[in-house]
Amino acid sequence: MQKSECPGRVQLRNKATGTCADRTSSRAQVQPRSTIQQSKSSSSTSSPEAARRLHPRPSDKLNPKTINPFGEQLRAPSAFAAIYSKGGIPCRLVHGSVKHRLQWECPPESLPFDPLLVTFAEGLRETKHPYTFVSKEGFRELLLVRGACEKAVPLLPRLIPVLKAALVHPDDDVFERGLGALVQLSVVVGPALNDHLKHLLTSLSKRLMDKKFKEQITSALQKLEQHGGSGSLIIIKSKIPTYCSIGC
């Protein structure tokens, strides 16, 4: 058998048969490392898991396995917070050494109650400072202006659902702010509130079972009766039979 060489291969000739057998040299068989790495990377990216990591599906946002429980979740600001941040509330919080106060851009009596009073009522459900103070104090001070009754009564159909949302809120501080606002509203509008009481008393009846709120709610009911007259007593007793009238 004779051996003849040519570039990149070794040729073996069999003398007996006269046939040639080609054998690629080892140098030609070795592939460049970069080519191997490219093939590995292409095969890895072609796998379903890798493709999912590079291009996450919209449904992954709803998959608990893809959510980092320790990551900061971005939440849109509440309606009241958004309005306050944009300057839509005509007052600002002034921090004092002893107590805080509101500084109004113009006298409160010159401001329209619609929609400002409703906006303050919606802010009662806030749980962060300064929105908690601004909404509570703004609601109170707006109801103290002259002619507040005439301005507030037409807004009762919109105020009652908002106050009810505060009264059923799981946060105790929110509930207390809602209860205080309800009493303040009763002082201003008087018997005009009676037609809407039934929508609020169910929430108060449930909270009345909690001992820590029993005294507060009882006091609030007595004030509702005081400012709502005999008509309010009938409504309160129909929803809370255990209520003891201020005349007892």
The count of domains in the chain is 1
Q: Is residue 24 part of a domain?
A: no
Mean pLDDT in residue range 84-89 = 91
pLDDT band at 96 (very low <50, low <70, confident <90, very high): confident
Q: Is residue 63 part of a domain?
A: no
Peptide bond into 32 cis (omega under 30): no
Q: Is residue 151 part of a domain?
A: yes
Where would I find the beta strands (DSSP E) of 141-188? none
Q: Is residue 32 part of a domain?
A: no
Q: How would you classify residue 231: left for phi > 0, otherwise alpha for psi between -120 and 50, otherwise beta? A: alpha
Higher-pLDDT residue of 85 and 178 is: 178
In this predicted structure, what is the pLDDT of residue 50? 55
Annotate 169-196 with b (16+ C-beta within 10 A) or e (fewer). Answer: beeeebbbbbbbbbbbbbbbbbebbbeb
Q: Is residue 112 part of a domain?
A: yes
Q: Is residue 36 part of a domain?
A: no
pLDDT of 4 over the 80 cut: no
Contact 239, 205 (CB under 8 A): yes
In this predicted structure, what is the pLDDT of residue 231? 92
> Which region among 61-70, 180-189, 215-224 has the lowest average model confidence (pLDDT)?
61-70
Contact 125, 166 (CB under 8 A): yes
The enclosing domain of 234 has a CATH number of: 1.25.40
Range of the domain at 223: 79-239
Report pLDDT digits (tens) over 22-68: 444 444 454 555 554 555 445 444 555 555 555 555 444 444 444 44
Q: Is residue 35 part of a domain?
A: no
In this predicted structure, what is the pLDDT of residue 47? 55
In this predicted structure, what is the pLDDT of residue 138? 97
Q: Is residue 107 part of a domain?
A: yes
